[in-house]
Homo-oligomer: A and B are copies of this chain.
Amino acid sequence: MQSTFASAQTAALPYFDEARSADVVNARMGEQTDERLRQVMSVLVKHLHAAIKEIEPTHEEWFAAIRFLTETGQMCTDWRQEYILLSDILGVSMLVDAINHRRPSGATPNTILGPFYVAGAPEYPSGANICLDGKGEPLVVAGRVADINGNAIPNAKLEVWQTNDDGFYDVQQKGIQPDSNLRGIFTSDAEGKYWFKSVKPRHYPIPSDGPVGKLLGAMGRHPNRAAHLHFIVTAPGFDPVITHIFTPDCPYLPEDAVFGVKRELIADFRKVDDVTVAERVGLRAPYWSVAWDFTLATAKTV
């Protein structure tokens, strides 16, 4: 069927070939391609082709994948990032976070920032209450910021944000919750200590009305995140920490939809019934109390 002419002319050329398909694609990149892009695309093409060879999708399955990827993009708006959700539920966001935040043993581990962080939280003095809607079970969070050797870090900034007792962040309920409800920035004292009042956080679902929610459902998974407080802790000369602390009694702790839980970040929330102790912190008993220390690694010099 093939002419001798064409055969002789083109025998050495890189036509498609099932066995070495990824090599054929990667060989096509131009010499001027940015070296990092070349590396990234080569690795992606290699693993993508390997996955397809292992899956052997039918044409219908391939088209279902095309449709899913298209709909995931089309679900995105200025307020909804469905591809980040996809990255989250496949453990990719946590993996990228882990790769970028390998720390010396003993340092507080990082976790993902999440979509509900907003800059510009109010600064508060120690002991202030960040719960402005009065809902939920009162909580005192107290601890110390120190370096790997246990030396106090004074003047560290601790930014905290969390859901209210209905399982929503203030930015999800503008006009319903008070502005900056359950957000605040605190500063560690001369001994590295900090404390503030809040309420016990609630679990909440990631948005599940899009293609990613449908995929989660098809995989027999639920959209809930285990209850947590978010923190960013920064101090000059130290590696900033973006992290969570988790309540130990949340039913979704071992099934956090975005794999955000790390064992070292599960805290001990204790109930305080003592009326005198409660009075001292300006609360009525019973209330919850959690002691939580942050250990910062020295900033890497670049």
Which residues in A have some Cβ–Cβ distance to B below 8 Å? 1-7, 9-11, 13-16, 18, 21-22, 24-25, 28-34, 37-41, 43-59, 61-62, 66, 69-74, 76, 81-84, 87, 90-100, 108, 218-221, 248, 253-255, 259-268, 292-293, 295
**Chain B residues within an 8 Å CB radius of A31:** 220
**Chain B residues within an 8 Å CB radius of A24:** 91, 259
* Residue of chain B at shortest CB distance from A49: B95
Given A15-B263, A221-B28, A262-B16, also A268-B98 (CB < 8 A): no
Question: Is there an interface contact between A248 and B5, defined as CB atoms closer than 8 Å?
Answer: yes
**Chain B residues within an 8 Å CB radius of A54:** 43, 47
| Closest-CB distance, A69 to chain B (whole angstroms) | 5
Question: Is there an interface contact between A98 and B221, defined as CB atoms closer than 8 Å?
Answer: no
Classify the secondary structure of A's interface with B. Answer: helix
8 Å CB contact of A295 from B1, B3, B32, B58: B1
Complex CA–CA separation, A263 to B1 (angstroms): 10
**Chain B residues within an 8 Å CB radius of A71:** 73
Q: List 17 A-B contacts (CB under 8 A).
A: A1-B264, A3-B266, A6-B266, A6-B267, A10-B253, A10-B266, A15-B262, A16-B94, A18-B99, A30-B219, A39-B55, A40-B61, A44-B51, A46-B51, A56-B99, A62-B87, A66-B81
8 Å CB contact of A41 from B14, B48, B100, B219: B219
8 Å CB contact of A91 from B3, B21, B47, B50: B21
* Residue of chain B at shortest CB distance from A82: B70
8 Å CB contact of A268 from B5, B45, B91: B5
Question: Is there an interface contact between B255 and A53, defined as CB atoms closer than 8 Å?
Answer: no
* Residue of chain B at shortest CB distance from A52: B95
Known: A1-B295, A15-B259, A46-B51. 7 other contacts (CB 8 A): A18-B95, A25-B90, A30-B219, A47-B47, A52-B92, A62-B92, A62-B93
Question: Is there an interface contact between A62 and B266, defined as CB atoms closer than 8 Å?
Answer: no
Question: Is there an interface contact between A2 and B266, defined as CB atoms closer than 8 Å?
Answer: yes
Question: Is there an interface contact between A34 and B218, defined as CB atoms closer than 8 Å?
Answer: yes
Question: Is there an interface contact between B40 and A66, defined as CB atoms closer than 8 Å?
Answer: no
Question: Is there an interface contact between B16 and A49, defined as CB atoms closer than 8 Å?
Answer: no
Complex CA–CA separation, A98 to B25 (angstroms): 15
Question: Is there an interface contact between B91 and A25, defined as CB atoms closer than 8 Å?
Answer: yes
Q: Interface centre among A74, A82, A99, A268, by most B CB within 10 Å?
A: A99
* Residue of chain B at shortest CB distance from A221: B28
| Closest-CB distance, A150 to chain B (whole angstroms) | 12
Complex CA–CA separation, A124 to B93 (angstroms): 57
Question: Is there an interface contact between B14 and A254, defined as CB atoms closer than 8 Å?
Answer: yes
